[in-house]
Amino acid sequence: MTRRIISMLSLLALVALPAAAGKTYSHQEYFEHYEGTSTCLTCHEDEAETFFHSQHYQWTGETPAIVNADGKLLGKKNTINDFCTNPVPAWIGITKNSRGEVLSQGCSKCHAGLGKMPSAEMSREQLENIDCLICHASGYNRTLVENEDGGLEWKPILWKNQEGLDSVSKRITMPKRTSCLRCHSGSGGGPNYKRGDIEYALADTDREFDVHMGTDGGDMACMDCHAGTSHRMRGRGVDLMGSDSPDRLRCGDGACHETAPHAKELLNRHAVRVDCTVCHIPAFAKEDATDMIRDWSTPDYIEEKDKHLATITMGANVEPEIAWYNGTVWAQLPGVPVRTDDEGAIAMVVPQGDRNDANAKLHAFKVHRGMMPVADESHWLLPINVEEFFADGNMDGAVREAAHVVYGIEDFEYGWMPVKRYMGIFHEVQPADNALRCLDCHGPDGRLDWANLGYEADPLAAALTPSH
């Protein structure tokens, strides 16, 4: 009897072994072979339609927070910024240096599509251009492939390995930290170049680096704060042109923190006019330095990479600049004469609000500066085909090529002007123990420029000065 039981158990173990060795994924049962986005559309056409209209696909969106947008849909696709300027002239392509090494593959590398430019009109072709897996499949990676007709397309790197692709395409989840950071940390040309407070380190960090995302802290993923409905993300920082979601993402709206979150009443009184970020993000770019000044007027040549670049000044452990912000900004738009600030710099993005604006609070900012081309006659800000410039170092050609694509202009003269952009700092939040102390702002070497903020002097110093 005992021998029979052992035999039966052995047989069961043999049968069970392959199943136990195999892994099962969320979409294991829904399809057999992944054949591109059409596989996803079989069940998720409605979701694809909502994504088509979202900012992650269109790269434009509604602009309730841009005071001078005049109702236009705006985004990185149809504006000009002071990093890589505009993605349309360099949307997709393989740019090589003189040694034949690939320098770049186009701005669409970070678009959640398979290479086609997003159109305003929805179509089957556009829906099939959506790359669902880039955000939703962990372990998915893609590469730029030249098709037989010479066209370029983003394809899974496993496109010749159906078994591997079938495995990865079934690992469907909400976007993980690494999915988001892949583009949002790498934007601007290098790790943390653009944002300053969204570093690759956030993928796996501790509370001393970011109290929310630290695995020994809140252990929160990006989606815990930013997930909206129908593929509309919450939160737009300060300098994004389009808004996916009409509601403003706030720390103290009651969902996570109360409006008076501190035990000390003095701190709660501060919180009425001082955003959490001012005290709780004393510094950004803590692991990877960030691009603080990008001067396109002074080309740099990196011999090691055989690549031409703007002259970029990096900053590490940067102390944020503090300014009033009421949730809206003024933005320098393309096709209108540039407007300069008191420093003579083109005000690319300027937070609105002041001391007398009850809706405004002091916020923490990365202030990015640079030099950009401006047309002499129209005073329009000009884009640059940066990828063309990477390879040949011909800035004049890169400006003219991009201006032709974006504005349709050819005969023009141009010069260079300084630019200045305010970018909100909202990540890498510090626990209370590491937050600023009173004297960090109110001391003789305090970090606030009181005059610039609308005060005659440090209000604490004024309160302590005996009146006559």
Partner 1 sequence: MKKSSLIVAAVLIGVFVLGLANVATAAKKKGPKGVDLYKEYCKPCHEADSDNGEYTPMTMIQDQWERFFDKEFVDSHSAVLDPNHDNKPVTEAISEEDLEKIKAFAIDHAADSEQPMTCG
Q: Exactly one of 67, 73, 144, 157 binds partner 1 (CB under 8 A); which one? A: 157
CA atoms of 344 and 237, how far apart (whole Å): 25
Under rule CB under 8 A, residue 123 binds partner 1: no
Structure tokens at 131: 């790359």
Q: Which of 173, 178, 268, 311 binds partner 1 (CB under 8 A)?
A: 178
Residue-wise DSSP of 438-456: HHHHHSTT-S--TTTTT-S
Least Å distance between CB 158 and partner 1? 5
Which C-beta is closer to partner 1: that of 164 or that of 190?
164
From 136-144, 239-247, 313-321, 381-389, span contacting partner 1 (CB under 8 A): 136-144
Residue 211: exposed, middle, or buried by beta-carbon count in 10 A (0-12, 13-18, 19+)? buried
Summary count for the chain: helices (H), strands (E): 14, 11
How many Å apart are CA 77 and CA 181, to the nearest integer?
Answer: 20
Q: How far is the CB of 130 from partner 1 (least distance, A)?
A: 21
For 6-43, give one letter per residue: b (16+ CB within 10 A) or e. eeeeeeeeeeeeeeeeeeebebeeeeeebebbebbbee
140 binds partner 1, rule: CB under 8 A:
yes
- Near partner 1 by CB under 8 A: residue from 29, 121, 149, 163: 163
* Phi and psi at residue 267, to the nearest 5°: -70, -40
454 binds partner 1 (CB under 8 A): no
Q: Which of residues 36, 93, 164, 315 is near partner 1 by CB under 8 A?
A: 164
Instruction: Give the total of residues touching partner 1 (CB under 8 A).
Output: 14
Locate 360 and state its tokens: 């405004």
CA dihedral 205, 211, 212, 215 (to 10 degrees): 40
Comparison of 160 and 355: residue with beta carbon closer to partner 1: 160
Which range binds partner 1 by CB under 8 A, 71-79, 97-105, 164-172, 361-369?
Answer: 164-172
The rounded distance, in Å, linking the Cα atoms of 67 and 82 is 20
By CB under 8 A, the residues from 285 to 324 that bind partner 1 are none
**Rule CB under 8 A: is residue 190 a binding residue for partner 1?**
no
Compare residues 171 and 257 and give the one whose CB is closer to partner 1: 171
158 binds partner 1 (CB under 8 A): yes
**Binding of partner 1 by 23 (CB under 8 A):** yes
The alpha carbon of 370 is separated from its chain's Cα centroid by a whole number of angstroms, namely 19
Footprint of partner 1 (CB under 8 A)? 23, 138-141, 157-158, 160-161, 163-164, 167-168, 178
